[in-house]
Amino acid sequence: MPTVIQSLRDRIGKIEKGRLRRPLVIGAAAVVAASGVGVCANSYMLYRTRDSVFSKVADVPPRDVAIVLGAKVYSDGTPSIVLRDRLTAALSLYNAGKVNKIIVSGDHMAKEYNEPGAMFQFLIERGVPAKDVFMDHAGFRTFDTMARAKAVFGVKSAVICTQRFHLARSVYLATINGLDAVGLEADLRRYRHHYINHGREFVARSFALLDVHLFHTQPRYLGETVDLNSDAQSTHDL
């Protein structure tokens, strides 16, 4: 098992404690989201990223890597529809020569739940060489993924692959972490819980601004750096 994954296993206890958000942070985010400040925060983030989100692969400017954000994986290891559509977007970018590498970032805290592993399998089964698919095992949330993309993987430029409602926050957090980032909409259908997703994202955008500009939150785990110019095998656990 690669060192990066073993290190993650050794830190599970500490990371698990990090899941219990400080009541102050939660309360502040709720107040912001429920107030006019929440509207301003969302408007600001949407405005800042308005020219960096694309709906067609042909319109996406070339970048070094595609970053696929994790989502639910079923017990049999099958990616959910939401996640499959994100992976399909990254696959389209890779096949079009828009990116040379793909980072699949998700939750792999528990051995029995492996978002990056399911994402990796999806891509290699569709022809992407394993050497070009890097697995980020500590992408517990969007904030962590973007911080780790810069600090761990040394990403300079990226195309982020996720659904439209999620892209403004994703691109904003990537930019704040020093990435030259754009986003590709992965919406291939209308999803269940459409309105719930948008409502949650309204709160999440407000929370993200608090994380970055008020609380100066750090990712739960960083660990050893990874050279994107090398073979991605060091990040694989399969």
Q: What is the mean pLDDT of residues 136-153?
A: 96
Q: At what angle do helices 142-151 and 164-176 cross, to 10 degrees?
A: 40
**102: β partners:** 66, 133
d(CA 102, CA 209): 27
**How far apart, in whole angstroms, are the C-alpha atoms of residue 186 and residue 161?**
6
Q: How many residues does the chain have?
A: 238
Rounded CA separation 96/57 (Å): 8
Q: How confident is the model at residue 238, as a pLDDT? A: 61
Rounded Cα distance between 196 and 193, Å, is 5
Instruction: Give residue 10's pLDDT.
Output: 60
Distance CA 155, CA 75 (A): 31
pLDDT band at 17 (very low <50, low <70, confident <90, very high): very low
Q: CATH number of 3-235: 3.40.50.620, 3.40.50.1820, 3.40.50.2300, 2.40.30.10? A: 3.40.50.620
Question: Contact, 53 vs 168, CB < 8 A?
Answer: yes
pLDDT score of 13 more than 60: no
Q: Which tokens belong to 54?
A: 């694309």
Indicate the pTM of the whole model: 0.87
Mean pLDDT along residues 88-102? 98
pLDDT at residue 19 in the model:
47
pLDDT value at residue 148: 97
The secondary structure element, H or E, covering residue 185 is strand 180-185
Mean pLDDT of 4-24: 52
Average pLDDT over residues 179-184: 98
Residue 20 has pLDDT above 70, yes or no: no
pLDDT above 80: residue 29: no
Indicate whether 8 pLDDT > 70.
Answer: no
Q: What is the Cα–Cα distance from 178 to 193, expressed in whole angstroms?
A: 32
pLDDT at 118 over 50: yes
Per-residue pLDDT band for 52 (boundaries 50, 70, 90) equals: very high
Q: How many CB atoms lie within 10 A of CB 126?
A: 12
Write down the H helix ranges in the chain: 3-10, 12-18, 23-34, 36-48, 81-95, 115-124, 142-151, 164-176, 194-213
If you ran DSSP here, which 8-state letter would residue 35 be given? S
**Taking the domains of the chain in order of start, what are their residue ranges?**
3-235
Helix (H, G, I), strand (E, B), or coil: what is residue 129?
Answer: coil
Confidence band of 177 (pLDDT split at 50, 70, 90): very high
d(CA 31, CA 52): 29
Supply the pLDDT for residue 139. Answer: 95
Average pLDDT over residues 13-20: 48
Q: Residue 16: pLDDT above 60?
A: no
Higher-confidence residue of 163 and 20: namely 163
Q: To 10 degrees, the CA torsion angle through 193, 36, 41, 18?
A: -70
CA distance 231 to 225: 13
Question: 39-43, 139-143, 154-158 — which is least confidently predicted?
Answer: 39-43
DSSP 27: H
In this predicted structure, the answer to whether residue 192 has a pLDDT above a threshold of 80 is yes
